[in-house]
Structures are given as structure tokens and as C-alpha cells.
Structure 1
Amino acid sequence: MADPVEKQALWTRAFVVTSISNLFLFLSFQMLIPTLPIFVERMGGDATQVGLVIGVFTISALLVRPFAGKWLDTIGRRNVLLIGLSLFILSVVGYYWMTVVSLVLLIRVVHGFGWGMTTTAYGTIASDIIPPKRRGEGMGYFGLSSNLAMALAPLLGIWLMDSFGFGYVFSISTALAVTSMLLSRLITIPPPIKRDVIPDQAGAKREGLFEKKAFFPSFLVMFLAVSYGGIVSFITLFGAEVGIANVGWYFFANALMVMLVRPFAGVIFDRRGHAWVLLPGALLTATGLLVLSYTDSLTMLIIAALCYGAGFGAVQPSLMAWTINRVPPHRRGAANGTYFSAFDLGIGAGAMLLGTVAQLTSYSMMYRLSLLLVAGFLVTYLIYLLRGGKIKEAASE
């Protein structure tokens, strides 16, 4: 008898269009990751201010995500997506007119609101479309759209910055975001998912902005997000410190490995459970950070990126699928909001706290100390397993 997992179609038109639309959003976003730190530095900003620019963005995304999750479950997926995309586009256009760091910080707040709403919406729409028994695999494939952008967009952004200036970077980024909005109109979004039983008034009140069942995997992803915040915020400046000219190759190698690992990790998650993915993934992430901290050549930089990408590519989508599996369908928006809020909190904390560490020591030491974050992840997860935590949980329909 055929495996029931194989009977459920994954590559539907809705799934493909959602993934492509998400791809263009991430292309727009990823172009700015290696270029905005240089943009701020050329305004006279130091490492702490660069960290603030990243941190303010992620904190604003963090603040809006719980509301976005609630709105997704109440006013509808498409409405939240379109509002978020509009804010995102307006903020990218606004960078062209910024002349001082304080104004960049202001526009980053709006950018973060748009980013928080759109990514929460896309993740929730994808989780609605993907068959429940293939959720790990499906979220892995859906994540390939963001990883492909991670591979291509930083190199494109750096090339545009060096060849034509920041005006072209912001113009192309805007055009890509507009394309994402146009494609989003073609997505067939499933009808709203209703509760099986109408809760009483007290039960309704308990269903707030955050989803309690999503807390544990969200807490785990926050550990790795702090280390990721240190990478996306400072890898360009780290390259200058150690004499590596184009660190865009780090993003390319990292994203390439994530793309290779995600589909396999998703299938393992669906069939064997999260322990088979999270433990080896965390060890590979730690290896990537350790190699990066001693990097002094392009070859070592690429090795570090491959290790970190393999680990992060296994862990992040598995934790996201685990989050969705733990909650009822009508709370997926809130669960995604909770998960991405934790992810943003980690990136924001990494940008600000690790930026201060780098200023007091060096970027190399900052990445070395980031190993403590992976240790925290492993200890927390092992305690969960030792206390009888389930390695595999049934997926919610």
C-alpha cells in the first residue's frame, strides 16, 4: 500500500505562486542586508549604530508580528499581506532620501512593520496550503525561495552598490518588492479555517496575540537567531577586518547549502521526528561559527558558510513545522506570529548585543562567543527530551 504522505499533492499552483511571490520579497530584502551597514558607515555611523539600524528593524517587526498573527486569523490572510507589502515598499523607497543615521532609524521602524506583517502572512498562507502530513517537507521547500534570494541578492546588492551607487540598490529593491505584490494577487488563498467548537467567552479571551503551544520551539529558534543576527549585521564589516574583499560569497555558499539541506531535513522531520534534525543541525551550526571566528581567507569563509548553512537549514524550517504541528488550524496565524517574533527578537538582540561585544573585542571574538548560544540551544532541548518530551508529534489538520 502506498505511503499516505505521497498521496497528498504538494506542488499545487497555489503553493508555487506563493513561493515565487515570497522569493521576490526576499530578493528585495536580502539586497539590503550587506549594503545597509555600508550605507550607515558612510554616513559616519560606528559598529554600535550599525547594530541599532538592524536592531530597530527587527524590534519593530517583533512588535507587529503578534498583531499580524491575530489579524491573519480574524481579518484575513490577503488583507494583512497587502498592507504589509505596501509598508515594505514605501520604506524601501524612503531609503533613497535618507541623509543621516537618525532618519535611517526612523524609516527602519516602518520597514520592520512591513516585513513582520508580510513574512508572517506568507508563512501562514504556505502552512494552510501544504498537506499536514508533508508539512516539514513543504515548509522546507517553501523556505527554498528565501534561501535562493539569500544566495543571489547579496551579491547583486554589493555589485550594484560598487558599480552604480546606493540609488540603484534601492530602486531595484523597490521593483522586486512591487513584483512580489503583483504576484501575491494571483495566490489562491484557502477559505478561513473555523473552530470545530465555538468556545465560551472565557475561552475566547484566553486566545490572545501569542500562542502558548508555540512557545517552546519559538524559544529554541531564538538562540540560533541571536547568532544569525551577528552574521547578517556584521559579516561585511568582519570581512573588512580580516581582509576579505567580497563577503557576498558567504551568503551565496550559506544559502546554497541551506537549499540542499532543507528538503531532506523536512522529510526526516516528517518521518522520524525533530530530534533527528535538531541535534545534528545544532552541531553543524556551532562548527560554522567556530570556523568563521578563525577565518582569514575566502576558502575558510566558504567552509564556515557551508557548515552554518547546513545546520541552520536543517533546524529553522523543522522548528517552524513543529510550531504549526502543535496548534489547531484556527491558531496558525498566532503561532506563526509567536514563532517569528522570537526569531526577530533573537536577530535584534544579536545585532545590538553582539555589536557591543565586537566594539569591545573584535568581530572574530564575537563569533567565537556566539558558540555559547548554540550551547544554550542544545542544553534546553536535551532537558526537554530527558523530561519525556515527544520526539514526534501528530500534525494538526
Structure 2
Amino acid sequence: MKKESIFTPTFVINTLISFLFYIVFYVLTSSIGTYALQQLHQSTVVSLSLSSVFVIGALIGRVWTGINITRIGMKRLLYIGGLIFLVLTFGYYLTTNIPLLFLIRVIQGAGFGIGATASGTIAGHVVPASRRGEGIGYYALSVTLAAAVGPALSIMIYSSLGFGSLLGIALGLLVITFILIFFVRVKEFSAEERAYALAHEPKGVERYIEKSALPISIIAFLAGFIDSAILTGMGSFSTDLKIPLAGSLFFTMYAVLIFVSRPFTGRLFDTKGDNWIFNPTFIFFAVAMLLVGLAGFFSPAIGFVVLLIAGGAFGLGYGGVAPFGQAIAIRDSSKDRIGVATSTFFGFLDLGVGGGPIVLGAIIPMLGNGMLGFRNLYLYSAPAVVIVWIIYYLIHGKHQKSSSKV
């Protein structure tokens, strides 16, 4: 039997839109704290909070999109999210007032959340159900590539050209995104489907959260929380170890291993089932966190190599959580609830990644000063991943059977 095609024009364009959304997110978020510290002379707490409030806005945008995507439509919401993201990016030029800057970050985050959730929902609709794991895996590479390129691009542009030029590039990329949306072709809900979905819309909390997506979303929250230790601490940790280059190459190795493994892991997910992916995922994830912590015991030369190996393991581990978690979330939901399932999954993931730095910022000083605190945090994170693995088995894994699909 001939396989249904994944790489349709709409799939490719939508994946590119996702990449541009996330590039702008990483470009702005990676430098907003430095801008607040250096140019606006704010405290470290205020600078870090400018990153966190964006995540709060994104969460609000995702939830709102999930419950309105049937009513408004996927492509229209992609336009709405893109427009808010674009306009609020321009708003940075108009203020150096911190309360107003916080407001801009929240609303801009909401625009990002709306656009990213609409794009993810479109991906879930246009990917063939028989190849959903493989297709969503390829789609998620847009986020991986943005995470690998965005921060480095941000630092380079900010240090050489300044924050104003960084905003100009972000605006240019969002204009391109807006043009690309025009070429997206997706079958929206019919009037009958819309009427049925709205008539049978759940009440209360279930209107905002897809119940069937909750187990894997809880796992995403916990994994994202642990991941935030890497996102927020790797730069300082590698600098303290006198190997800052290893901190950058860690994320390069992370991206490379995801790219190399994704064609195989995607097919394995579709043909063998969830546990064939998530069991190795947690093993590699735990090994990666352990290796990062152990790097603090070695000389800079050996620590450099250990961090590179850890980056590869991190890609094979945590790198599988978002794409295959999303595939599970939308697979187990009805067609009219794919948007809510997408917002539920990524909302929980955003909560983990965005809330982690706040909690960990209070914990790290208890574990030691400077490098010692981060080293102990990473060492403790390895058994924490094993605990998440056990939770995965109890709430999801033990209910899964290996697939025999070809």
C-alpha cells in the first residue's frame, strides 16, 4: 500500500511559519533580559521576569485558541496570532517604561500562543493519521532548529548592532510569516461540524482542558520543568567551568542528534507504539542530566567532551517529549477537540519550562554557591527524570500496547 504523503505544500509552509514564530520568540527572549539589565538598568529579578511573563501570555493565548478554534477557524486564528505578535513587537520601539514593557510582553506572548497553537493544530489536521508520529516529528523540527539558531543569532545581533536592529529583524521575519499564511490551505470545519461541536462543547474546566490529553500533558510539564534547569543554567554553568563554548555546542549537539534520529524515531512511534519511544527517551534524558552534573568534577578539557556527549543524549532524550507527546495528545482526542488538545499539551509544557526558573532560582542557592549549586542541581535532576519515567508508566505507559502497524 502506498504511503500517504506528509510533505504537502501546506505542511511545508506551515512548518516554516512555525519556525519563524519560534525564531522571533527565541531572538527576543534571549536578549530582552540583557537589554533590561544594560540599557534600562533593571535588577536581575526584573530581567528574568520579562521572560516569564511572555510564557504567561502564551499560556493564555493557547487556552483561548483551544476553545475558539472550531468557532473562528484555524487559518483565521493564525492570522490573528501573527498580527498581535507583529504589532506588539513594534511596540518595543515605543517604550522604556518597565510596567508597559511587561504588558507588551504579556500581550505579545498571547499572540505567539495563538499563532503557535493554530499552527500546531493545522499540522495535526494535515498530517495523515497513519503517519502522525512521523509527521508531527518533522513539524517539530521547526522548533528544534529555532531553539538551536535563535539564541545564538540573538546574542550576535544584539552585541554587534543593538536591540533596535534586533527588533527590525524580528519585524521583518513576522512580515514574511504573515505573507506565508496566505498560502496555507487547510480544510476548516463545516457548518454542520461547527454546530455539532459547539452544541456538545463541554462545560466548566473541561471546556479549556482536553481530558484525554491530560496524562501526557502532565508528563510534558514535569519534563519541561527539568529542562528549564538546562535552558536557564547551562550558560552560567559552562562559563564557571571555563568552557563557555561547550555550553553553546551542547545545544548544537542537541539539535544535530534530533535531526539525525527523527526519521527513525517518527516511524518507530507509528509502527511500534508510545513506549518504544518514551522508555528510551527517559533513559537518555536521565543520562544527559547525570553527565552534565558530572562535567563539574572534571578538568575543562574532559568536561568539554562530557558536555558534548550530554548534549547528544539530551537530544535523544528530552528532544522527543514535545513532538511525540503532541502526537499522543491529539491522537486520543476527537477531531473537533484537536485544538484544545494541542493547547492543553503545550500549555502544560510552557508552564513547566516557564515556571521552572522561578522555582529553581530559589532552590539553587540551597544546593551550593555558583558552580556547585548548578552541579548539584543537575545531579539531582537525573533521579528526578527517573521519577517522571515512573509517573509516565503509571498514568500512561502501562495502558499502552505495542503496535503492529506497518
TM-score normalised by the chain length of structure 2: 0.87
The one-character-per-residue Cα deviations of 1:107-153 (angstroms, maximum 9, x if unpaired) are 22112101211111110001100000100000001111222222222
Task: Quickly say closer, same or farther: Cα 1:251–1:195, change in 2 above 3 A.
Answer: same
Letter in 2 for 1:335: A
Deviates more, 1:131-140 or 1:306-315: 306-315
Q: How does 1:123-142 map to 2 (within 5 A)?
A: 123-142=120-139
Tell me the CA shift for residue 35 of structure 1. Answer: 2.5
Deviates more, 1:42-51 or 1:191-200: 191-200
Letter in 1 for 2:19: L
Q: Does structure 1 residue 323 correspond to structure 2 residue 365?
A: no
Alignment check: 8 A CA contact 1:54 1:233 kept: no
Where has structure 1 moved over 6 Å in runs of 4 or more?
A: none
Q: Secondary structure at the match of 1:32?
A: helix
Deviates more, 1:357-366 or 1:325-334: 357-366
Task: Quickly say closer, same or farther: Cα 1:173–1:373, change in 2 above 3 A.
Answer: farther
Aligned to 2:34: 38
Deviates more, 1:335-344 or 1:62-71: 62-71
Q: Secondary structure at the match of 1:370?
A: helix
CA distance in 1, matches of 2:104, 2:195: 43
Tell me the CA shift for residue 47 of structure 1. Answer: 4.9
The one-character-per-residue Cα deviations of 1:66-103 (angstroms, maximum 9, x if unpaired) are 21111112111112111111221233333345546544
Alignment check: 8 A CA contact 2:271 2:404 kept: no
Aligned to 2:61: 64
Alignment check: 8 A CA contact 1:385 1:391 kept: no
Aligned to 2:168: 171
Deviates more, 1:372-381 or 1:11-20: 372-381
Alignment check: 8 A CA contact 1:20 1:145 kept: yes
Q: Of 384, 391, 406, which aligns to 1:380?
A: 391
Percentage identity across paired residues of the two chains: 28
Q: Of 159, 162, 168, which aligns to 1:162?
A: 159
Q: Give structure 2 stretches of 5+ with no counterpart.
A: none
The one-character-per-residue Cα deviations of 1:38-68 (angstroms, maximum 9, x if unpaired) are 3334345555444422322212212231211
Task: Quickly say closer, same or farther: Cα 1:292–1:106, change in 2 above 3 A.
Answer: farther
Q: Secondary structure at the match of 2:30?
A: coil
Aligned to 1:389: 399
Q: Does structure 1 residue 81 correspond to structure 2 residue 91?
A: no
Tell me the CA shift for residue 381 of structure 1. Answer: 1.5
Alignment check: 8 A CA contact 1:224 1:373 kept: no
Q: How does 1:224-263 map to 2 (within 5 A)?
A: 224-246=223-245, 247-263=247-263
Tell me the CA shift for residue 191 of structure 1. Answer: 2.4
Q: How does 1:272-311 map to 2 (within 5 A)?
A: 272-295=272-295, 297-311=303-317
Alignment check: 8 A CA contact 1:31 1:173 kept: yes
Q: Does structure 1 residue 352 correspond to structure 2 residue 358?
A: yes
Q: Does structure 1 residue 366 correspond to structure 2 residue 365?
A: no
Letter in 2 for 1:136: G
Q: Does structure 1 residue 115 correspond to structure 2 residue 112?
A: yes
Letter in 1 for 2:134: E
CA distance in 2, matches of 1:263, 1:191: 29
CA distance in 2, matches of 1:116, 1:329: 20
Deviates more, 1:193-202 or 1:304-313: 193-202
Aligned to 2:208: 209
Tell me the CA shift for residue 375 of structure 1. Answer: 2.7
CA distance in 2, matches of 1:104, 1:239: 31
Task: Quickly say closer, same or farther: Cα 1:253–1:40, change in 2 above 3 A.
Answer: farther
Letter in 1 for 2:375: S
Higher helix share: 2
Task: Quickly say closer, same or farther: Cα 1:98–1:377, change in 2 above 3 A.
Answer: farther
Tell me the CA shift for residue 26 of structure 1. Answer: 1.9
Task: Quickly say closer, same or farther: Cα 1:104–1:299, change in 2 above 3 A.
Answer: farther
Q: Secondary structure at the match of 2:28?
A: coil
Letter in 1 for 2:71: T
CA distance in 2, matches of 1:162, 1:200: 50
CA distance in 1, matches of 2:381, 2:105: 25
Tell me the CA shift for residue 390 of structure 1. Answer: 2.0
TM-score normalised by the chain length of structure 1: 0.89
Alignment check: 8 A CA contact 2:238 2:244 kept: yes
Q: Give structure 1 stretches of 5+ with no counterpart.
A: none
RMSD: 2.7
CA distance in 2, matches of 1:214, 1:375: 22
Alignment check: 8 A CA contact 1:266 1:317 kept: no
Deviates more, 1:239-248 or 1:62-71: 239-248
CA distance in 2, matches of 1:204, 1:46: 44
Tell me the CA shift for residue 300 of structure 1. Answer: 3.4
Alignment check: 8 A CA contact 2:284 2:313 kept: yes
CA distance in 1, matches of 2:195, 2:28: 45
Deviates more, 1:321-330 or 1:59-68: 59-68
Letter in 2 for 1:391: K
CA distance in 2, matches of 1:50, 1:74: 38
